[in-house]
Amino acid sequence: MKKLNILFFSIGLTAFAQSPDASIMKAAESIEDKVINWRHDIHEHPELSNQEFETAAKIAAHLKSLGIEVQTEIAKTGVVGILKGKKPGKVVALRADIDALPVTERNDLAFKSNVTANFLGTETGVMHACGHDTHVAILMGVAEILSKHKDKINGTVKFIFQPAEEGPPPGEEGGASLMIKEGVLKNPDVDAIFGLHINSATPVGQINYKPGGIMAAVERFVVKVNGKQTHGSQPWGGVDPIYISSKIIDGFQSIISRESNLLVEPAVITVGKITSGVRFNIIPESAELIGTVRTLDPNMRELIIRRMTEMTEGLAKAYGGSATIEFQSNTAITYNDEALTEQMLPTLQKVAGADKVNLVKATTGGEDFSYFQEEVPGLYFFLGGMTPGNKEAYPHHTPDFQIDDAGMLLGVKVMSQLTLDYLNKK
Ligand SMILES: [Zn+2]
Ligand SMILES: [Zn+2]
């Protein structure tokens, strides 16, 4: 009897979990060809960060044609659409990043990019080598579907088309943080935000998610070590900044291996550049180390930054010199709110199929969606874009990077259903 009860209970749950909104799913399927065409057009005409003028114009025209209220030139080239449902309620934001990269495409596609641009003084090809073209097309599709089903929406949907996710050019502001600064999460105030990233190594039809940190906070740091110049044959006459640098690098790695609880999350410190000295027999005056820190847990991030500062100053002093360290935050932790993730997981499962939704490990790459998540609860997940049966995939940001068009349909379905389920929760 007891067993029977459990059986009935689980059948009931499964039945609920397996029923996405049939008319929304059908609507998504009926516009799949349009979504693919949008993607091809945007892929063929990629634009670099903070220069997404034509992309933004296409998005704005589409949203306007749907009767959605449109704001343009948010954070330079960003577009925001506001769709009010039939009844009042919460506000959910859906975000797509829209920029391309200075990469020369090597794919043989009918919609291959032949666009070139000058990037920091170098003439280069421009390519949607991270798949943001698919993000734009997916969210344009979601906007089309939801705008035609306003009667199903209790609340408001904000469509955020964000420029410069890959980082604005040096000296320029841009991306998620600038959008927030310009008030994108206010008026009406956003209660939750959803975002996705297509993935070239995950098969079409699959979704990868993780509660908590899913992508790393990215810090860039610069250490300046001051010594005292002397003849290379007489080190006792000065203070050697190269030797001090070696102690600091060693100290940094001991923060990871001896002080960080790696059972909580992984963490990385990399020194990627060292500059010092002019010739073999001079101990120079100074040295500079440049590197990056990647963390996935807020407490570990705080500890690592504090200890790196103490190591830098303390070790330099111990060896008779002095040193400073400066950090620049490139992204925060892409941190999936645990309660929101738990709430929305059944939606991912009923749209994709429970066996297609995978709990994954975090990655040490960064994503500026994290800044939205510092302001409001957010859920960010990965969507399969690899042709089924492929054994290998070219990584993002490479000239051979490819995404299968067939991957986008699930993205349109999931984002639409997430919106409805979040806003219509009793
Ligand atoms: Zn990227
Ligand atoms: Zn990306």
Residue 18's pLDDT band (boundaries 50, 70, 90)?
Answer: low
Mean pLDDT of the chain: 95
Q: Which residues keep their CB under 5 angstroms from ion ligand 2?
A: 130
Side chain identity, residue 324: T
In tens, the pLDDT along 111-135 reads: 999 999 999 999 999 999 999 999 9
Task: Check residue 12 and give its pLDDT.
Answer: 43
The CA 414 to ligand 1 mean position distance, Å, reads 22
Which of these, 418, 254, 267, 283, lies nearest to 333 by C-alpha position? 267
Distances (CA, A) of 262 to 259, 333, 338: 9, 16, 20
CA of 71 to the centre of ligand 2 (A): 23
H or E element at residue 116: strand 116-119
Q: Count CB neighbours of 326 within 10 A.
A: 11
Instruction: Determine the average pLDDT of the residues in 152-181.
Output: 97
**Which of 8-12, 136-140, 163-167, 413-417 has the least mean pLDDT?**
8-12
What is the sign of the dihedral through the CA atoms of 8, 13, 18 and 19? positive
Kindly give the interhelix angle for 241-254 and 298-318, rounded to the nearest 10 degrees. 150
Per-residue pLDDT tens digits for 348-397: 999 999 999 999 999 999 999 999 999 999 999 999 999 999 988 999 99
Q: Nearest ligand, CA of residue 397?
A: 1
pLDDT in tens, 36-73: 999 999 999 999 999 999 999 999 999 999 999 999 99
List, in sequence order, every beta strand (DSSP E) within 246-377: 267-276, 282-283, 286-295, 322-331, 334-336, 357-359
Distance 263 CA to ligand 2 centre (A): 28
Two structure tokens written together for 355? 């066996």
Q: How far is the CA of 365 from the centre of ligand 1 (A)?
A: 9
Q: Is the dihedral of CA 355, 349, 137, 114 positive or negative?
A: negative
CA of 397 to the centre of ligand 1 (A): 6
Proximal ligand: closest to the CA of 398:
1
For CA atoms 344, 345, 346, 352, the dihedral sign is positive
Q: Residue 382: nearest ligand to its CA?
A: 2
pLDDT digits (tens, 9 = 90+) for 219-250: 999 999 999 999 999 999 999 999 999 999 99
Q: Percentage of the chain with pLDDT > 70? A: 96
Cα(67) to centroid(ligand 1), Å: 31
Q: Which residues participate in catalysis according to the annotation?
A: 99, 165
